[in-house]
Chain A
């Protein structure tokens, strides 16, 4: 019984003690505060509540900074970094190129083409700063405050901005010295790599192409394109495009394609399409006439296509000198839609080898039908005709 009450007594007394302590802290909140309303009030970094003077700090690990004028690019910091966030490119200057001296009086023999520090990767171990013989890489603020003021909360909008680039040599200087030294320009090479980064093969094929083109002494674009796909018999299906119902059109084309691929004649193909449509219950009299047209279409065989097509193309190119129809004339049209239509019509005429005048007439009628024909376009079309 007494143990029961003693238990309650201990509970009350310890709770009371704790509450009294809490109350004391509550009342004395100015003296014993534990939190700081951060964005509204800031401790200046060096002086916290103990009140250390800034200059007496051994070091403040705020941000790495490089006095690039003093750097001799010995790469000791790069080697000391455990995570390789310092990247240095240097070019050895030939004897007749003077790069000056550091503030310690050391001759600079290498030109710093690149000195990047990725502060997003940095682990603030400070190992790079101890090894520097010229003391040009250091953490800002504190005892280094005279060299560079402290960078409180050095935040950036973009993560890429955390890659600090300290090299100040101009592109021309780097190019000149690397040319004089007879080595590849590291900065230009990096730039090239970066530009080609998003090409599918890293820009290698392009480089090869340019070389080949140089040898052949003509643009690589003119080369006939080789299709990787195996050649298949083809049939003109434009007759089916007239069908308005999308489902029926799709079905008809699909059946026709399958039949052509199976090596059937046009009449058989038409029969197959008819059968498929009647099975689906979509066959009408109008459709039957359309399919009848399909039966008269021709099928191009793959061998013929492979051998004859380029010949025909070159022939066409010879017969109608392309220089006469110059599409770039139409670039003067400001309205994008009108320009597109006009170019499409002219392009078709060019491909079919039709006369320019007919094409221009067609452009005129099309554009006036759209209400896009104006004096500017008229002028250009007249130029095309003349």
Chain B
């Protein structure tokens, strides 16, 4: 808590309960925040969720393993490829499937492109929440290009059902590598523009630097992950620390917050980690495109009948928003006996009360934007 605000709070006024949401532009979907305020100072925040609850887990107990994939698309709908990827890898681990090289490379390419798209959305929305209207049009424009590439590949722009258990629905279309490289060349310049218009903009920095500082111990005890955890200076990226798929073959660095303009772990650091991650993702995609094997059937390893043996599995991977985990219990039938999804944004949101206490209501918007939540995944 900053010094000025501490003094401001000395004058105790009557507390008021304020409902923010579920229809509020800065609550990113349908989140209701029940804020107890003292004047304009927040004394307690209670997030109320469940407005987008669709019984994802129960639903999965009634559909076969491949049919779950369209449902995972709809959890974190800004990062559907990553959701598909994690779920497919979980079932593959349960069934002991060896994948062709080409499939692994294509998966990494689309997952990293999707990570860029998800972070673009986070950047633009955070700028918009804080009053910068221009950046979101630019980030959306570039996100569209990634979605175009995906549409070119699998026909869908948002909910792909592209990564299957044991393979992919389609091979890459001809010239995909060329188009993707063209996009990366174009996009690297765009990141510089985002830095100029938003990242180092004085107004933006004033709104985010030193605001909502998340200490490392709090972040870990609340189970935060992804850019929220790395923004606090913890070098923890599952792609580096527990390499899955083929991430150990590429040269890149995990983006970790440094406290460049303010305190370590403030809103700006969490924001900056995302910008830096986009740069790293570009690096990964470039290497993957260069190393992509020419030959390989993406349908080769898809089992005829998907009936995992009896047993259970927990598999987690680094999504744009944090660790996404799938816990699957199989009873040997074509339908999962139980499927649990560990949502990263659910944990990230739970820390809101801890870091937003003592700040003003307008800062809550900045903090919420920096947490980058998606209600589709929180409520499931």
8 Å CB contacts to A: which residues of B186-233?
Answer: 193, 196-198, 200-203, 205
Q: When A82-B67, A127-B70 are in contact, do A58 and B175 touch as well, CB less than 8 Å?
A: no
B348 CB-CB contact with A under 8 Å: no
8 Å CB contacts to A: which residues of B40-71?
Answer: 63, 66-71
Q: When A82-B63, A126-B155 are in contact, do A56 and B200 touch as well, CB less than 8 Å?
A: no
Determine which residue in B71, B156, B202, B205 has the highest number of CB atoms from chain A within 10 A of its CB, and name it: B202
- Expressed in whole angstroms, the Cα–Cα distance for A58 and B151 within the complex equals 9
Q: Return the CB mask of A9-29 against B: 1 if under 8 Å, else 0.
A: 011001101100110010000
Q: Is the CB of A123 within 8 A of B171?
A: no
A-side contacts of B250, CB under 8 Å: none
B-side contacts of A60, CB under 8 Å: 151, 155
B-side contacts of A10, CB under 8 Å: 202
- Expressed in whole angstroms, the Cα–Cα distance for A14 and B152 within the complex equals 38
- Expressed in whole angstroms, the Cα–Cα distance for A185 and B171 within the complex equals 44
8 Å CB contacts to B: which residues of A123-141?
Answer: 123-127, 130, 139
Chain B interface size range: 35 or more
Q: Is the CB of A127 within 8 A of B67?
A: yes
Q: Is the CB of A127 within 8 A of B202?
A: no
Q: Is the CB of A14 within 8 A of B201?
A: yes
- Expressed in whole angstroms, the Cα–Cα distance for A57 and B159 within the complex equals 17
A50 CB-CB contact with B under 8 Å: yes
B-side contacts of A152, CB under 8 Å: none
- Expressed in whole angstroms, the Cα–Cα distance for A124 and B156 within the complex equals 8
- Expressed in whole angstroms, the Cα–Cα distance for A341 and B137 within the complex equals 73
8 Å CB contacts to B: which residues of A72-87?
Answer: 80, 82
Q: Is the CB of A34 within 8 A of B138?
A: yes
The 8 Å CB contact of A48, one of B140, B148, B169, is B148
Q: Output the nearest chain A residue to B206 by Cβ-Cβ distance.
A: A11
Q: Return the CB mask of A189-228 against B: 1 if under 8 Å, else 0.
A: 0000000000000000000000000000000000000000
- Expressed in whole angstroms, the Cα–Cα distance for A125 and B69 within the complex equals 9
Q: Is the CB of A82 within 8 A of B155?
A: no
- Expressed in whole angstroms, the Cα–Cα distance for A139 and B156 within the complex equals 11
Q: When A15-B202, A56-B173, A56-B175 are in contact, do A126 and B140 touch as well, CB less than 8 Å?
A: no
Q: Is the CB of A21 within 8 A of B155?
A: no
Q: When A82-B70, A125-B161 are in contact, do A18 and B174 touch as well, CB less than 8 Å?
A: no
- Expressed in whole angstroms, the Cα–Cα distance for A60 and B149 within the complex equals 12
Q: Output the nearest chain B residue to A126 by Cβ-Cβ distance.
A: B161
B-side contacts of A126, CB under 8 Å: 154-156, 161, 169
**B293 to chain A: closest CB distance in Å?**
18
Q: Output the nearest chain A residue to B174 by Cβ-Cβ distance.
A: A56
Q: Is the CB of B179 within 8 A of A59?
A: no
The 8 Å CB contact of B179, one of A32, A35, A50, A139, is A50
- Expressed in whole angstroms, the Cα–Cα distance for A76 and B175 within the complex equals 33
Number of A-B contacts (CB under 8 A): 95
Q: When A52-B152, A52-B179 are in contact, do A18 and B169 touch as well, CB less than 8 Å?
A: no
The 8 Å CB contact of A21, one of B169, B170, B196, is B196
The 8 Å CB contact of A34, one of B68, B141, B196, B201, is B141
Q: Is the CB of B70 within 8 A of A125?
A: yes
Q: Output the nearest chain B residue to A52 by Cβ-Cβ distance.
A: B152
A339 CB-CB contact with B under 8 Å: no
A-side contacts of B156, CB under 8 Å: 61, 124, 126
Q: Is the CB of A17 within 8 A of B179?
A: no
Q: Is the CB of A59 within 8 A of B196?
A: no
Q: Is the CB of A21 within 8 A of B202?
A: no
B-side contacts of A48, CB under 8 Å: 148
A142 CB-CB contact with B under 8 Å: yes
Q: When A59-B170, A82-B71, A123-B70 are in contact, do A15 and B153 touch as well, CB less than 8 Å?
A: no
- Expressed in whole angstroms, the Cα–Cα distance for A61 and B156 within the complex equals 6
- Expressed in whole angstroms, the Cα–Cα distance for A24 and B266 within the complex equals 32
Q: Is the CB of A124 within 8 A of B159?
A: yes
A-side contacts of B203, CB under 8 Å: 11, 15
B24 CB-CB contact with A under 8 Å: no
A-side contacts of B140, CB under 8 Å: 34
Q: Is the CB of B148 within 8 A of A50?
A: yes
Q: When A10-B202, A56-B173, A58-B155 are in contact, do A127 and B66 touch as well, CB less than 8 Å?
A: yes
- Expressed in whole angstroms, the Cα–Cα distance for A369 and B71 within the complex equals 75
Q: Is the CB of B154 within 8 A of A58?
A: yes
A-side contacts of B145, CB under 8 Å: 49-50
Q: Output the nearest chain A residue to B302 by Cβ-Cβ distance.
A: A130
B134 CB-CB contact with A under 8 Å: yes
A-side contacts of B148, CB under 8 Å: 48-50, 52
**B211 to chain A: closest CB distance in Å?**
17
- Expressed in whole angstroms, the Cα–Cα distance for A18 and B193 within the complex equals 9
Q: Is the CB of A57 within 8 A of B152?
A: yes
**A105 to chain B: closest CB distance in Å?**
23
Q: Is the CB of B155 within 8 A of A59?
A: yes
- Expressed in whole angstroms, the Cα–Cα distance for A295 and B205 within the complex equals 97
- Expressed in whole angstroms, the Cα–Cα distance for A174 and B197 within the complex equals 67
**B102 to chain A: closest CB distance in Å?**
15
- Expressed in whole angstroms, the Cα–Cα distance for A215 and B306 within the complex equals 56
Q: Output the nearest chain A residue to B157 by Cβ-Cβ distance.
A: A61
Q: Is the CB of A14 within 8 A of B202?
A: yes
A-side contacts of B63, CB under 8 Å: 82
Determine which residue in B145, B197, B198 has the highest number of CB atoms from chain A within 10 A of its CB, and name it: B197
Q: Return the CB mask of A46-66 against B: 1 if under 8 Å, else 0.
A: 001110100011111100000
Known: A50-B182, A127-B67, A127-B161; 9 extra A-B contacts, CB below 8 A, are: A21-B193, A22-B134, A56-B173, A57-B151, A58-B152, A58-B155, A58-B173, A126-B155, A139-B155
A-B contact pairs, 7 of them (CB 8 A): A18-B201, A56-B152, A57-B152, A59-B154, A61-B155, A82-B67, A127-B67
B residues near A (Cβ < 8 Å) are 63, 66-71, 73, 134, 137-138, 140-141, 145, 148-149, 151-156, 159, 161, 169-171, 173-175, 179, 182-183, 193, 196-198, 200-203, 205
